[in-house]
Structure 1
């Protein structure tokens, strides 16, 4: 049985683990490492430290399926809908650019529930707070080092973290990249954003008519005076749940890409009051929250992906080392599905060669 390490417990990593389990079953022993304290990656659902009831999506907000992807990835969408992980988005959305034939979906339990579903299906051994620092080739295996100081060996490795973090890894990876591959990876670019989650006590009403609203969209007539905020949502309305009445509502704010780029090197504690000040201008009279959580997404959405490398990049075929994620496709649910499917194809080809 081949021992496979997937680095990153986000959407691509969880999908890779799930697809490998379903297609290769007893041929692989799957292990997933993530440096964070929870799974989800950029599909992160956060809670304040003193609450088990509040929750807020501080990363991806919903999933948009184009007509084409709804057909080509129909089995995955059907699985998530039938299990209750996803449901159609039916709240009032202001400033949303509509796409013909597209359907939007939300996760009633938070976006991280999508990732957790695939991790459960994968039956992988999940280890959180496992921060990978280096990769070293040891004959027919990879020795993977962690920040904690220890290491383990695996027959195959899939790296699904953002490309700049891949390039920071110590060891043999950089020496094995071709000049073309280095150029391709160096050209990947991401937007940066800050996200704020505001948690309110039970009984509070967020007095706005919508469930979510986009700002600074000059094509929709909803442009605001603020250049820092691009999106605000009332979580329980967006999800279509009654959680706001039971445990108090949550409000999520995403900053614009230009604001994120301007302030990306600043501490989130310094940026939080700036965003709150702008939020109070947009929503005057907003009740006082009982908790606030600010998160900096240094690597938010992919602006420039790897060219001519759909889905993944094979660094070495034996022992197999693959880079994957939305940087090798595009930054949405279906982009991660495409990447995971291409990783599965690479594993199948590798297994056939080595049999």
Structure 2
């Protein structure tokens, strides 16, 4: 049995784990580590600060399937729709620019449910708050260290965290990267942004009719969503929630500031845009240092193989493009390569 570590419990990592399980079944033990307190990565659904049943999507908001991806990724869309994880979007999104044939989907239980679905299907052993710090090549295996101390050994490692975090890893990785690979990884650039979730009491009814809106007349805020309306997920006894995303330029300008210092600036601008908005009962603020990929790894579709044996592979949206289908493309690419490498190990 090959022991595989996938670092990163986001969409790429969870789908890769699912594909490995379905193909190799009991021939592989799959372990997933993530440094966060929950799964999902940038497709995570956050709870209100008071730990109530209130939740909101602070990262990815909805999924747009182009006609080409609707065909090539049909099995995944069909699976998620059948499972009730995805459903067509029904609300009005003001300012959404569409191309002919595009189809928009939302997740009634939040975008984090996508990742949870694939992790559940994978049967992986998932460990949270495990922050990888170093990789060491030990013959036919990898020794992986983490911040909490201690290390574990694996037959193969897949890294799906943002590229800057991959480049920060200590140990043997730096010496194993070729000069062209290092140059490719150095090209990657991400946008950064702040996201706010405002949670309201059950008696609040928003005065506007849209489910989400792209904002064109603000240098601070670029997007606002009535999260529960967008997801068609009104829950009796729970009030509505509002999600705000800042613009890329604002995120860049305030990137090194504490999120609590930036929050009042965003709220002041929100009051200007929506002056009739009631007072929320709680607010959650998040800073996405790595929000969306602006420049992906060149000439490296889907993944990058650092070492063939024992396998060390990098994947994620930086190796494709920054949306649902980009993560699916990367997961398929990683899986296809890793499957062959593990097959070599198993027959040796």
- TM interval, short-chain normalised: over 0.9
TM-score, normalised via structure 1 length: 0.96
Q: How many residues align?
A: 346
The match for 1:156 is: 156
**What residue number does 1:267 align with?**
258
1:305 aligns with 2:319: no
Render the CA deviation track for 1:32-54: whole Å, top value 9, x for unaligned. Answer: 00000000000011011323311
Taking the aligned partners of 1:284 and 1:52, their CA distance within structure 2 comes to: 27
Select the residue among 251, 258, 271 that pairs with 2:249: 258
- Shift of the alpha carbon at 1:285? 1.9
1:344 is aligned to 2:335: yes
Q: Which runs of 4+ in 1 moved over 4 A?
A: none
Q: Is the 8 A contact 2:49 2:284 kept in 1?
A: no
Question: What stretches of structure 1 of length at least 5 have no aligned partner?
Answer: 217-223
For residue 43 of structure 2, give the secondary structure of its aligned residue in structure 1.
Answer: coil
Q: How many Å separate the matches in 2 of 1:202 and 1:96?
A: 29
**Alignment match, 1:199:** 199
Q: Partners of 1:49 and 1:212 in 2: how far apart?
A: 23
* 1:227 counterpart SS class: coil
Partners of 2:40 and 2:71 in 1: CA distance: 25
1:231 equivalent to 2:231? Answer no
Task: Give the distance between the partners of 1:348 and 1:233, measured in 2 at CA.
Answer: 40
**TM-superposed deviation, 1:26:** 1.5
Structure 2 residue 322 is the aligned partner of structure 1 residue 321: no
Alignment root-mean-square deviation, CA: 0.8
What's the TM-score once normalised by structure 2's chain length?
0.98
Deviation at 1:246, TM superposition (A): 2.5
2-structure distance, mates of 1:338, 1:353: 23
* Contact preservation (8 Å) 2:234, 2:240: no
| Distance in 2 between residues matched to 1:241 and 1:43, nearest whole Å | 17
CA offsets 1:36-89 (integer angstroms, 9 cap, x no match) = 000000001101132331100000000111001011111110010011001001
CA distance in structure 2 between the aligned counterparts of 1:246 and 1:92, rounded to whole angstroms:
24
- SS of 1:80's partner is helix
